[in-house]
Amino acid sequence: MIALLRRDLSLAVRAGGGFGLGVAFFLILCALVPFGVGPETSALQPIAAGILWLGALLACLLSLDRIFALDHEDGSLDLLATSPLPLEGAVAVKAVAHWITTGLPLIVAAPLFGILLHLPGAAIPSLLVSLLLGTPALSMLGAFGAAVTVGLRRGGLLLSLLVLPLYIPTLIFGTEMIRRGQDGGDTATPLLFLAGITAGVLALVPFAAAAALRVNLR
Amino acid sequence: MTLLAVHDLAVARGGLRTVEGVSFTLAAGQALILRGPNGIGKTTLLRTVAGLQPPIAGRIDMPEDTVAYAAHADGLKGALTVAENLRFWSRVFGGGDLAPALAAMDLVALADRPAAALSAGQKRRLGLARLLVARRPLWVLDEPTVSLDAASVARFADMVRAHLAAGGAALIATHIDLGLEARVLDLTPFKAKAVRAARPAGFNEAFA
């Protein structure tokens, strides 16, 4: 499993792997919003939390179809399925690799982009914690979507349609947590919900994704 | 010791039966060559034996973790070097040393080359070298000699012979003569009759 993780990470870092693409997309999005709604603090501050989470969602979506599609094309997926590695484990490892290459850079960059959107400093800790707790669920749900659409040509759009509705709970509690942090409210409830959703997703979705892969490999 | 026993096997591709009633056994040290015209179901049969799809009917008996499967796609990453590709599969299969595998397929000089820069035949050789690091007793090979030159085909035949001598077995679908002392199974007589399989009401192939 560690071998698979290391291979996926080194593939992502090497030329054409798309490492950092998500962050760049996130940056562009956050830089465009002030042009769209106006640069005043009164206009940006109320929507900053929502924009940051939507940006993270979309940036995560960008690289989802690569999770399994490339391995399917070159035959690696067939070989992984016949290897001693359980397919559920392979799915989980690939989701982890996706999170490290997409989610983690987003989290690191998010405070900076929060400043672009006039997010008050008091909300930065809750922004970081909410992303840290929420983005693993995004990667794992995305891996499920990628497993369902793996055999399809140009399955990217279908993948987005399948996965984005599954992101709604994470989005709701993630933005709620930042908003409460911004207003100095109690962030414990959204934090617990966010953690609960992620824990449930991490525990159950690998099995669903592996089942979908087995059907698609036939 | 019997490594693989296939009883009355029927397989299907895209919901259509291809071959049915196939039975054979493979013991350690034996090879079986599958022949038959295009579309008869050689690949489907091999994928079924490799466990990538379930059989429609019949039974496949073999110990767990027996099969090393090699098909048309070699499972290589162009951004990784030859040695890195091989090392990855060696680690995944908990398997053997790279050096003998590289030597067996004449890849030592290419070890640090990115796989994307290999020719089709060199890629295939790397794909076959993977069999050696997988250290599985039963090789299930689908057209292993595609894009190999004559010298490499001979090299590959030597590799299979050494594998058989070491107590392995091989199930190979190929159209060319590898010069192996192997039984040949022609799938033509097993072609499925063109009748639609009876399906229960509400049958859904995706969840069958």
pLDDT value of residue B194: 67
Domain assignment present for residue B11? The answer is: yes
**Which residues in A lie closer than 8 A to residue B67 (C-beta atoms)?**
82
Q: What are the extents of the domains in chain A?
A: 18-217
> DSSP string of B33-66?
EEE--TTSSHHHHHHHHTTSS--SEEEEE--SS-
pLDDT value of residue B201: 64
- Any idea which of A10-24, A161-175, B84-98 has the lowest mean pLDDT? A10-24
pLDDT value of residue A174: 94
Mutate to test the interface with A, among B77, B123, B140, B171 (most CBs of A within 10 A): B77
Please give the structure tokens belonging to residue B104. 């067996």
What mean pLDDT do residues A6-14 have? 82
Q: Tell which A residues from 80 to 109 touch B, by Cβ distance under 8 Å.
A: 80-85
Least CB–CB distance from A84: residue in B53, B94, B130: B94
The alpha carbons of chain A give a radius of gyration, in whole angstroms, of 18
Using pLDDT thresholds of 50, 70 and 90, give the confidence band for residue B195. Answer: low
Q: Tell which B residues from 66 to 85 touch A, by Cβ distance under 8 Å.
A: 67-69, 71-77, 79-80, 84
How many C-beta atoms surround the C-beta of residue B82 within 10 A?
27
Judge whether residue A110 has pLDDT over 80.
Answer: yes
Domain assignment present for residue B45? The answer is: yes
**Is residue A95 a contact partner of residue A139, using CB atoms and an 8 Å limit?**
yes
Instruction: Tell me whether A153 touches chain B (CB under 8 Å).
Output: no
What mean pLDDT do residues A160-170 have? 93
Percentage of residues in chain B having pLDDT higher than 90:
6
What domain count does chain B have? 1
Instruction: Tell me whether A17 touches chain B (CB under 8 Å).
Output: yes
- CB crowding B40-64: b at 16 or more within 10 Å, else e: bbbbbbbbbbbbbbebbebeeebee
Least CB–CB distance from A82: residue in B50, B73, B77: B50
Q: Find the residue in B nearest to A73 (Cα).
A: B73
Q: What is the residue range of B7's domain?
A: 2-66+137-199
| Three-point CA angle B56, B60, B63, nearest 5° | 145
**Average pLDDT over all residues of chain A:** 90
Domain assignment present for residue B105? The answer is: no
Domain assignment present for residue B181? The answer is: yes
pLDDT value of residue B93: 86
Judge whether residue B24 has pLDDT over 80.
Answer: yes
**Inter-chain CB proximity B53 and A217 less than 8 Å:** yes
What mean pLDDT do residues A128-135 have? 94
pLDDT value of residue B199: 63
**Which residues in B lie closer than 8 A to residue A17 (C-beta atoms)?**
79
**Inter-chain CB proximity B68 and A82 less than 8 Å:** yes
Judge whether residue B198 has pLDDT over 70.
Answer: no
Domain assignment present for residue B124? The answer is: no
pLDDT value of residue B77: 86
**Average pLDDT over all residues of chain B:** 86
pLDDT value of residue B205: 64
Residue B193 burial (10 A CB sphere; 0-12, 13-18, 19+): exposed
Domain assignment present for residue B62? The answer is: yes
Domain assignment present for residue B188? The answer is: yes
Judge whether residue B196 has pLDDT over 60.
Answer: no
**Which residues in B lie closer than 8 A to residue A73 (C-beta atoms)?**
73
pLDDT tens digits, residue range A32-63? 999 999 888 888 988 999 999 999 999 999 88
**Which residues in A lie closer than 8 A to residue B51 (C-beta atoms)?**
81-82
> DSSP string of A182-196?
HHT---HHHHHHHHH
pLDDT value of residue B202: 67
**Inter-chain CB proximity B75 and A74 less than 8 Å:** yes
Quick one: which of B109, B1, B116, B62 has its CA closest to A15?
B116
Domain assignment present for residue B206? The answer is: no
**Is residue B70 a contact partner of residue B130, using CB atoms and an 8 Å limit?**
yes
User: Whole-model pTM?
Assistant: 0.88
Instruction: Tell me whether A79 touches chain B (CB under 8 Å).
Output: yes
Which residues lie closer than 8 Å to A158 by C-beta, 6 or more apart?
A149, A152
**Inter-chain CB proximity B72 and A78 less than 8 Å:** no
**Inter-chain CB proximity A81 and B52 less than 8 Å:** yes
Using pLDDT thresholds of 50, 70 and 90, give the confidence band for residue A139. Answer: very high
Instruction: Tell me whether A7 touches chain B (CB under 8 Å).
Output: yes
| Three-point CA angle B117, B120, B121, nearest 5° | 115
Question: Which CATH number fits the domain that encloses residue B191?
Answer: 3.40.50.300
Check residues B151 and B198 and name the one with the higher pLDDT: B151
- Any idea which of A78-87, A91-100, A127-136, B89-98 has the lowest mean pLDDT? B89-98
Mutate to test the interface with A, among B13, B47, B52 (most CBs of A within 10 A): B52
What mean pLDDT do residues B113-140 have? 89
Q: What ipTM does this complex have?
A: 0.83
pLDDT tens digits, residue range B53-101? 888 888 888 888 888 898 888 888 888 889 888 889 888 887 778 888 8
Q: Which long-range contacts (CB under 8 A, 24 or more apart) does A161-167 make?
A: A163/A61, A163/A64, A164/A57, A164/A61, A166/A141, A167/A57, A167/A138, A167/A141
Instruction: Tell me whether B15 touches chain A (CB under 8 Å).
Output: no
Using pLDDT thresholds of 50, 70 and 90, give the confidence band for residue A135. Answer: very high
